[in-house]
Chain A
Amino acid sequence: AQSVAQPEDQVNVAEGNPLTVKCTYSVSGNPYLFWYVQYPNRGLQFLLKYITGDNLVKGSYGFEAEFNKSQTSFHLKKPSALVSDSALYFCAVRDNNGGFKTIFGAGTRLFVKA
């Protein structure tokens, strides 16, 4: 069965430092991987996706993610964190095994301290 794991409930980082939010997945075929961000009192916003091709994908607001097939990981990264990046981040995988499901991780709360 498809699954997504975000091993950290919370990540704390100082402004200006690089940040990483971890995600691992389990799918039976080729993964379709996504990152979304949820700000307080706002809906989820799409950040970036990996479908195929280059393992390093770039997205909105300076975020990027690295797909690693051997480690079944899709970690979200940013070279220099901003206080405004503080939010709840969700990794998601789309079911490619004959269905149209999207499975979300439990989320990682990112705190960026000034």
Chain B
Amino acid sequence: DAGVTQSPTHLIKTRGQHVTLRCSPISGHKSVSWYQQVLGQGPQFIFQYYEKEERGRGNFPDRFSARQFPNYSSELNVNALLLGDSALYLCASSLEASLSYEQYFGPGTRLTVT
């Protein structure tokens, strides 16, 4: 079975630009979460979506937004990019939104903002 897939693998953007990252969950998984991982740190929670609805939001500015589609895939959008947005962006899927379910992570999208 395919795991969580993310695209693109790498991305280079300029300050002020906009970026869209994409994620496809494991088949049958209904919940998708997004994380930002800066080098040397643990993943920081950005959003969780379940059945197309936002179920959780981390401490990120409004420049960050996301959505989930009927097929449970998801997009993370970041507007007005800053140098500090350079990071590995991880997508994770889980069977349900319940807190007891473990998450399965994709390989990430490496975003570099210059």
Residues of A within 8 A of B (CB): 4, 32, 34, 36, 42-46, 49, 51, 90, 92, 94-96, 99-107
Q: Is A95 touching B104 in the complex (CB atoms < 8 A)?
A: no
Provide the residues of chain A in CB contact with B100, threshold 8 Å. 32, 49, 51, 94
Q: Is A43 touching B48 in the complex (CB atoms < 8 A)?
A: no
Complex A-B, nearest 4 residue pairs according to Cβ-Cβ distance, in ascending order: A100-B56, A104-B42, A43-B105, A44-B105
Q: Is B41 touching A107 in the complex (CB atoms < 8 A)?
A: yes
- Chain B interface size, as a band, is 20 to 34
Q: Is B105 touching A45 in the complex (CB atoms < 8 A)?
A: yes
Residues of B within 8 A of A (CB): 4, 33, 35, 40-45, 48, 50, 55-58, 90, 92, 97, 99-100, 102-108
Known: A101-B58, A102-B45, A107-B42. A43 touches B4 (CB 8 A): yes
Q: Which of B56, B102, B105 contacts A99 (CB 8 A)?
A: B56
Q: Is A105 touching B99 in the complex (CB atoms < 8 A)?
A: no
Q: Is A102 touching B105 in the complex (CB atoms < 8 A)?
A: no
Known: A100-B97, A101-B56, A101-B58. A46 touches B108 (CB 8 A): no
Q: Is A100 touching B55 in the complex (CB atoms < 8 A)?
A: yes
Provide the residues of chain B in CB contact with A49, threshold 8 Å. 100, 102
Q: Which of B41, B44, B50, B90 contacts A44 (CB 8 A)?
A: B90
Question: Apart from A43-B106, A44-B90, A94-B99, what 19 extra A-B contacts exist at CB < 8 Å?
Answer: A42-B107, A43-B4, A43-B90, A44-B105, A46-B103, A46-B104, A49-B102, A92-B42, A94-B100, A95-B99, A96-B99, A100-B48, A100-B55, A101-B45, A101-B48, A101-B57, A103-B45, A105-B42, A107-B42
